[in-house]
Amino acid sequence: MAKVLELSRPDAALSLLDGMTRRVDQAICPVEVFEDGEGVREVWSACPGGDHLGGVDRYEDPSMAWMEARRLAVVDQGEVFRMDGAVEHVVDEELASIEMAATLCGEGWADCAEPVQVDLSWTVLSRDNRDEILVSGTLATAELGPLEVEGTWTIDPSECESEPVRGLLQIEGERVQAFDFDGACDGCAAWSVDGASLGDFCE
């Protein structure tokens, strides 16, 4: 369940979008970088016989960034990371939208025999040094099966930098699990299953 909570937050999508090309050993498999309209495009295709397979196509300009990974597999010190899918981030003044549709495994995401499937959308309103976040979509994990995800919460660094200070996240599969963020900044949220309290869930 901790992995589901991590994936429900926009940071998971943004970390992939911002860091994917840095996973590539550019000395062996160089990334082609060129101007594309108002922005910069990065295109990489794996070198034959290397520890990197598949490809990455990434674009960024002042108002948006997107990335598509096609059958990507990266081996780093024996650890395998795989991704097939896309991430998009669009910013319009105080409002941002993030979309991720991908299959992921390795490096803590999931066993590659049963990868995590993600199809989530976030809306982020940034105002007065706070972020109001709305998430919706679906997830599928080997442990919990297909899940519907709905939630809204507030990030306020003046109260807590590491977790939501208030809000609710609901995850519906065979059972409905709810996480009520209480602002205690202790890594925990009030946890209920089918309406029955189970105390705190701590990541």
User: What is the pLDDT, as a whole number, of residue 52?
Assistant: 76
**Residue 67 above 90 pLDDT?**
yes
**Residue 84 above 70 pLDDT?**
yes
Per-residue pLDDT band for 29 (boundaries 50, 70, 90) equals: confident
**Residue 164 above 70 pLDDT?**
yes
**Residue 49 above 70 pLDDT?**
no
Both structure tokens of 70:
């096609």
Write a three-state SS string for 84-129. EEEEEEEEECCEEEEEEEEEEECCCCCCCCCCEEEEEEEEEEEECC
User: What is the pLDDT, as a whole number, of residue 161?
Assistant: 83
Q: Report, as an integer, the average pLDDT of 74-95.
A: 90
User: What is the pLDDT, as a whole number, of residue 37?
Assistant: 87
**Residue 26 above 70 pLDDT?**
no
Q: What CA–CA distance (Å, rounded) separates 173 from 149?
A: 9
User: What is the pLDDT, as a whole number, of residue 19?
Assistant: 80
Q: What CA–CA distance (Å, rounded) separates 75 from 185?
A: 36
- Nearest to residue 147, comparing CAs of 109, 176, 180? 176
pLDDT tens, residue by residue, 176-193: 999 999 877 888 899 999
Per-residue pLDDT band for 68 (boundaries 50, 70, 90) equals: very high
Q: Model-level pTM?
A: 0.91
The neighbour count for residue 13, using CB atoms within 10 Å, is 23
pLDDT tens, residue by residue, 114-153: 999 999 999 999 999 999 999 999 999 998 999 999 999 9
Q: Report, as an integer, the average pLDDT of 142-168.
A: 92
**Domain locations in the chain as residue ranges:** 2-194
Lowest-pLDDT range, 21-25, 80-84, 167-171, 183-187? 21-25
